[in-house]
């Protein structure tokens, strides 16, 4: 099994495959005491060691991005997320997201979802369009 897939499937680590691959490329993961690649094969008896630095939360700023609001009341906002727009900031994406647009258009978003996903209770993939409840 590939090293990145092996580590990403470990429920105790709770790391995405992209984050695991990044750690491997930075030398934070060793396979049998040696630096390795995400595609390195893990076999029975191998020793995998890793240092997981704390993940820094990106700063999320309001941006004047047009967003189609389909419904809005005091508690709920329904928006039409266009295809090609990332729902929330994440690995390698810190601006131009639906969250950046929502922070500009709707002050006081709920704390649900934490700092990078305010008000987001579900998401749609970048290349998927559709309605999102916020």
Active-site amino acid positions = 125
Token readout for 12 is: 């105790």
Report whether 121 contacts 76 (CB < 8 A).
Answer: no
Report whether 50 contacts 79 (CB < 8 A).
Answer: no
3-state SS class at 126: coil
Looking up tokens 């005091």, which residue turns up?
74
Helix (H) or strand (E) run with residue 53 in it: none
Rounded to a whole number of angstroms, the distance between the first and last alpha carbons of the chain is: 39
Closest CA to 50 of 4, 105, 83, 90: 4
């Amino acid at each position: 099994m590939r090293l990145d897939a092996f580590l990403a499937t470990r429920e105790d680590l709770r790391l995405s495959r992209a984050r695991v691959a990044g750690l491997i490329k930075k030398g934070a993961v060793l396979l049998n005491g040696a630096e390795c690649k995400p595609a390195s094969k893990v076999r029975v008896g191998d020793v995998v060691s890793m240092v997981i630095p704390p993940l820094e939360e990106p700063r999320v700023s309001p941006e004047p991005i047009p967003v189609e609001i389909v419904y809005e009341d005091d508690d709920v906002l329904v928006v039409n997320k266009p295809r090609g727009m990332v729902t929330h900031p994440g690995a390698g994406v810190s601006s131009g997201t639906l969250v950046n647009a929502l922070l500009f258009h709707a002050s006081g978003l709920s704390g649900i979802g934490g700092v990078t996903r305010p008000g987001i209770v579900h998401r749609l993939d970048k290349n998927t369009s559709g309605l999102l409840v916020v």
